[in-house]
Amino acid sequence: MLSPMDVAGRLARLRAYFDAAGCDALLLTNLTNIRYLTGFTGSAALAFVLPDELLFVTDGRYQLQSADQLGAAGLEARFAIGGLTVQQEAIAAAGKGIARIGLEAGSVTWARQRAMASDWFPEAELVPTEGLVETLRRVKDAGEISRISEAARIADAALAEVAPLLLDGTTEADFALALDFAMRRLGAADVSFESIVAGGPNGAKPHARPSSRVIGPGELVVLDFGALVDGYHSDMTRTLSVGEPATPDLVRMWDVVAESQRAGVAAVRAGVACSDIDAACREVIAAAGWADAFIHGTGHGVGLDIHEAPAVGATSTDTLEAGHVVTVEPGVYLPEHGGVRIEDTVVVTETGCELLTHAPKELVLQ
C-alpha cells in the first residue's frame, strides 16, 4: 500500500553538496539523517560518507538489523560493528588521508568535537556543516508522501471515531488517551507527538498539555495531533465547539482563523516565499484586530521530524518547492476566551497544493 522510497539514491545527491560545503567526506551523527540515507531505524549508529564508499558503524545490538535494513534499501556499505573503541578505530582509519572531514554542526556536542579533533582525525581539517541532509529531506519522494498521507488518514479516522466522546463531558487527558489509542489501533506505529487537547481557557496556550479538566458544553477545544507511519509524521489541528458555542466571540474567533487558514492554503504554490504564506494568514487576523493574538509562526515542514525545514514564518528566507510538505496553522489566543487554531498538512505542487489532512472543519460538534 505504501509506495517504495528510493533510499539508495539519496547518497549521491548528498555527495553532490560536498564541494560547496567545503568537505571531502561527511560523518553523520544525526540518527534521523542516518535513517533517511540508509533506512536504519536503530538508536545508535554513525554513518561515514566517504568519497566512494559508505562506512556504517553501530554496536552489536544492531548487527543483524543494520545489515537487513541497509540491504533492503539497496545500499552497499562497509560495516564496523562493536563498542566505542572498535567504532572509533574504524572511523579514524577510514578518515586517514582525507583532508577535510565534515561534521553535522547541529548534532555533534562540543565534547565530541574536541575528541574527534584530537583523537579521531588529528590530521584532518574538521568542517562544521549545517543542514546538508536536511536540505535533501525537504523535497519528499512519492514513497515519503504516501507515508505522511497514510499517517494523516489514520489521524482523520481516529478523530471521526472518538469526537462524540467530547459530548459526554470527558476530560482533556481522557480524550487524548482515546485519540491516541484509536490512532494506534488504526495502524499508527506511534503518535506523532504528545496530542494537544485544550478546552476552554486552556486553548489560549498553544502547546497546552492535556489536563484533568472536564471539557464543558459551549466551550472550544483545540485538538492538535498526528500519527506516525514508518517514521513519518502527520500533523493536524481542529478546533471544535462542544455543542453551540457559549458566546459570539468564540464564533468570531473561529471564523477569522478559518478564513486566515484558507488564505494561507490558497497562497501555497511552488516558487512562493514561505514568508508570503505567513503574511497571507497574518493579514486576515490583523484585519480582525487580533494581530497580537497570533503568537506563533504559520507552519513548518513535516517528515521524519514533526518540525523540519522549511519554516513557514515571517522571518523565513525559504521558498516553497514542489514536493515540500508543510503545515498551515494560524491561530488566535485570547486568555479571556480561549484559543482557536486550524492546521492542515499539505504537499506543495507547481500549481498549488494538495491537502493530506481531510478531517471536516465544521465548528460545532453535535
- The residues binding Zn ion (CB under 5 A) are 224, 235, 237, 327, 343
CB of 330 to Zn ion, least distance (A): 11
CB of 61 to Zn ion, least distance (A): 33
CB of 2 to Zn ion, least distance (A): 22
Specify the pairing of strand 364-365 against strand 236-242.
parallel
Closest among 187, 179, 256, 262 to 223, alpha carbons compared:
179
Q: Are 61 and 139 in contact (CB under 8 A)?
A: no
Please say which residue, 150 or 235, places its beta carbon nearer to Zn ion. Answer: 235
Please say which residue, 39 or 330, places its beta carbon nearer to Zn ion. Answer: 330
Closest among 101, 104, 99, 49 to 77, alpha carbons compared:
49
Number of CB atoms found within 10 A of residue 113's CB = 15
Q: Who's near 300: CB < 8 A, 6+ residues apart?
A: 307, 308, 310, 311, 312, 326, 327
CB of 14 to Zn ion, least distance (A): 27
Please say which residue, 74 or 360, places its beta carbon nearer to Zn ion. Answer: 360
CB of 49 to Zn ion, least distance (A): 31
Please say which residue, 315 or 351, places its beta carbon nearer to Zn ion. Answer: 315
Angle at 152 between CA 150 and CA 157, to 5 degrees: 95
> Which set of grid coordinates corresponds to residue 6?
528510493
Closest among 59, 48, 5 to 24, alpha carbons compared:
48
CB of 226 to Zn ion, least distance (A): 7
Please say which residue, 75 or 311, places its beta carbon nearer to Zn ion. Answer: 311
Compute the radius of gyration of the chain from its Cα atoms: 23
Please say which residue, 54 or 154, places its beta carbon nearer to Zn ion. Answer: 154
Residue 28 has phi, psi (to 5 degrees) of -90, 130
